Structure 1
Amino acid sequence: MGDMRKDYVSERFMIVTKKEDKIIDPKKSPFAPGNESMTNPSVLSLVAKDGMLQRLQDNEDEYVEGWAIRVFESKNPIVSIDTENSYSDRPFY
Structure 2
Amino acid sequence: MGCLFALFAGVFPRLALFIVWIARPALVNAAFDTWLLPLLGILFLPFATLMYVILYIPGVGLTGWGWFWVVFAGLLDLAHWGASATQRRQIPGYPAAR
**Shorter-normalised TM-score: what interval?**
under 0.3
Q: Which has the larger radius of gyration?
A: 1
More helix by share: 2
Greater length-normalized contact order (CA 8 Å, ≥ 6 residues apart)? 1
TM-score between the two structures when normalised by the length of structure 2: 0.22
Higher normalized strand content (fraction of residues): 1
